[in-house]
Chain A
Amino acid sequence: MAAGDRTKISIRDVSFDYADKKTSFEALKHIRLDIRDGEFLCILGSSGCGKSTLLSLLSGLNRPKEGEILVDGKAVRGPGPDRAVVFQQYSLFPWLTAKGNVMFAIRQSGRKYTRKERAKKAEEYLRSVGLLAARDKYPGQLSGGMKQRVAVARALALESDVLLLDEPFAAIDPKLRLELQELVSTLCASRKKTVVFVTHDIDEAILLADRIIVMEPGRIRTEAEVALPHPRKRDELIGTAAYEELHRKLIAGFYAQVQENIDAEAAL
């Protein structure tokens, strides 16, 4: 496996609640998780299980109520360019072209490049996501799939070790989604990134991950190592024994919780 043994991200006994004046909702309860250097980790769960909340804590946009998160041994105190994020909702800067968006990230990476070098690097990143031809287009002129490609290029352009993706392809139609999944898988593997990828799609998780964490509301239910060789092709995976076994295990973890919910509601 590409993943080394060194711990890159350490989530230590982290809790978080969403609170307003009257009510408080405990989204995460004492989460413990270590993520290895260069590992591609998928967090799988149905909506409301806290998987996106966990990612927002990793990005630093939210701060844990209890516990702490360490990246390279240092506590996360807020958002920073050492952890690139791709959001589910389109978050490109609408006043900049595709190239301008990527150049913005290159500037934020903190590395000393001249404007010319930034422009050149931006074009390289756009080429790597197959969008060089659209470099002068504004986000408003791009389709959803193209926007997310630019968002991936922008995240890579930060040149961070850690890449966080929050259901980045949930709003993309299935055929394009497969393309984007394979693209992300290849790009991250070749750059040795530590990736945390949040999804509710079991197939997506199996296709991409070195390890899959299945969440139920507030906590981790189970985890599974994915020992399939990279690069993976969906067509070649489906139907193999390893895939079927993994799928069954995840489905069990995934739906046992759904079944418990239904039972709980039925009992009321």
Chain B
Amino acid sequence: MKRFLLDRRMYAEYAVAAALFAVNILLALFMPYLTEHKRIYDSGAYIAALVIAFLIYTAGVHATRRKSASDIAVVLFAFFLAWEIAYKTGAVRNDLLIPSPEGLFHVFAEKPEEIWQDVLGSLQLLFWGFFLAILFGTLLGLLAGWIPRVREVLLPISNVITLIPPLMFSAYLIMVFATFREAAVAVIFFAVFWPTFQGTVTRVALMDRAVIEAAKTMGVGTAGMLARVIFPYCLPGIIKSISRSLRGAFMCLTGAEMLGINLGIGYFIEKYKSFADYRCVLAGIVTVGVITTVIDILVNRAEKALIRWEQ
């Protein structure tokens, strides 16, 4: 039980964050709108978001015991506090571009089905493009890293291709593929494939020679070397690079969706941008942030579960 408790100074910081959180809730519930606004939204979704944020922070600070968790929470709640006050007092009056925090989070209550479908659509594109790219990039990278002849062909080619930003050839890919979805998968695939390939080649090249020589002296052949020595040795590095590539992939994904697919969170943002509904645009952006964070956390969990050794 003792390990769930924080020391006294951390509780002082926790109290500051909690107090700010409480003030946020009170303002959302009871502070009147002091000027005219076009629309006033129900504060339920906003309060739910605040409560969720506070619960995550509480769990986080107890699990990690990092001071920075409290600092982040204080900054976050102070930001919402300032936003709420600025909006309700009328200091910020551009309803079109800057919604109230209530209005922003109310989007999630208004169209949960639509957002959910778009998130699923994005994740499907991401799955096919991203995971195929990781799979083939890693396999080919291991092969090229180990067999010099393969490497000497593929590495110069990849050096040229990776210099071209993937979104630049996306316009062409859209013409080549039958559907926008396939094109989007292809854009993500190419955005992730080459960096993964290069990273894997480098990791194989930087392997500890003693490990390779030990394997050789035990009579390990090429297939065994790739599957039972090089792959497990490089696995932690590969997983670490996944979370990095994921950010790039998500940028490409939302970018690709904006090119014309009718499903996905990028499409959601693009659609409401053309309706000049910036409240929904912001909600879409928040959604992207939440999804990437969740995937990031899952990848880190997977790394901890899979890799129990350290160099």
Q: Which residues of A contact B (CB under 8 A)?
A: 59-61, 78-81, 83-85, 87, 89-96, 104-105, 108, 110, 138-140, 158
On chain A, the residues within 8 Å of B309 by CB distance are 94-96, 138-140
Stretch at the interface among B75-83, B214-222, B296-304: B214-222
On chain A, the residues within 8 Å of B71 by CB distance are none
Central interface residue in B208, B219, B235, B310, by most chain A CB within 10 Å = B219
**Given contacts A60-B217, A158-B218, could you give 6 more A-B pairs where the C-beta distance is less than 8 Å?**
A79-B218, A81-B218, A90-B210, A91-B208, A94-B310, A140-B311
| Bitwise interface map of B from 190 to 233 toward A, beta carbon under 8 Å scored 1, else 0 | 00000000000000000010110111111110000000110011
Q: Report the Cα distance A140→B219, complex, angstroms.
A: 24
Q: Which residues of B contact A (CB under 8 A)?
A: 208, 210-211, 213-220, 228-229, 232-233, 235, 307-311
Look across to chain B and name the residue whose beta carbon is closest to the beta carbon of A88: B210
Q: Report the Cα distance A37→B251, complex, angstroms.
A: 66
Q: Contact check: which of A79, A92, A93, A110 meets B217 at CB < 8 Å?
A: A79
On chain A, the residues within 8 Å of B310 by CB distance are 94, 138, 140
**Min CB–CB distance B304 → chain A (angstroms):** 14
On chain B, the residues within 8 Å of A95 by CB distance are 232-233, 235, 307, 309
Check B213 against A61 for contact (C-beta < 8 Å): yes
Check B214 against A93 for contact (C-beta < 8 Å): yes
Q: Which 4 A/B pairs are nearest by Cβ-Cβ distance?
A: A91-B210, A81-B219, A91-B214, A138-B309
Beyond A95-B232, A95-B235, A138-B310, is A79–B210 a contact (Cβ under 8 Å)? no
On chain B, the residues within 8 Å of A93 by CB distance are 211, 214-215, 229, 232-233
Look across to chain B and name the residue whose beta carbon is closest to the beta carbon of A78: B216
Q: Report the Cα distance A96→B208, complex, angstroms.
A: 15
Where chain A touches its partner, the secondary structure class is loop
Look across to chain B and name the residue whose beta carbon is closest to the beta carbon of A158: B218
Where chain B touches its partner, the secondary structure class is helix
Check A85 against B233 for contact (C-beta < 8 Å): no
Check A79 against B311 for contact (C-beta < 8 Å): no
Check A80 against B229 for contact (C-beta < 8 Å): no
On chain A, the residues within 8 Å of B233 by CB distance are 93-95
On chain B, the residues within 8 Å of A78 by CB distance are 216
- 15 pairs, A vs B, C-beta closer than 8 Å: A59-B217, A60-B217, A78-B216, A81-B218, A85-B213, A85-B214, A85-B217, A91-B208, A91-B210, A94-B211, A94-B309, A95-B232, A104-B228, A108-B219, A138-B308
Check B211 against A79 for contact (C-beta < 8 Å): no
Beyond A91-B210, A94-B233, A138-B308, is A104–B218 a contact (Cβ under 8 Å)? yes
On chain B, the residues within 8 Å of A104 by CB distance are 218, 228
Q: Report the Cα distance A85→B211, complex, angstroms.
A: 12
Check B311 against A61 for contact (C-beta < 8 Å): no
On chain A, the residues within 8 Å of B228 by CB distance are 104
On chain A, the residues within 8 Å of B307 by CB distance are 95
Check A80 against B219 for contact (C-beta < 8 Å): yes
**Min CB–CB distance B211 → chain A (angstroms):** 6
Check A84 against B217 for contact (C-beta < 8 Å): yes
**Min CB–CB distance A151 → chain B (angstroms):** 8
Q: Report the Cα distance A94→B308, complex, angstroms.
A: 10
Look across to chain A and name the residue whose beta carbon is closest to the beta carbon of B224: A108
Q: Contact check: which of A96, A108, A138 meets B218 at CB < 8 Å?
A: A108
Q: Report the Cα distance A79→B215, complex, angstroms.
A: 9
Check A79 against B216 for contact (C-beta < 8 Å): yes
Beyond A79-B219, A81-B219, A108-B219, is A94–B311 a contact (Cβ under 8 Å)? yes
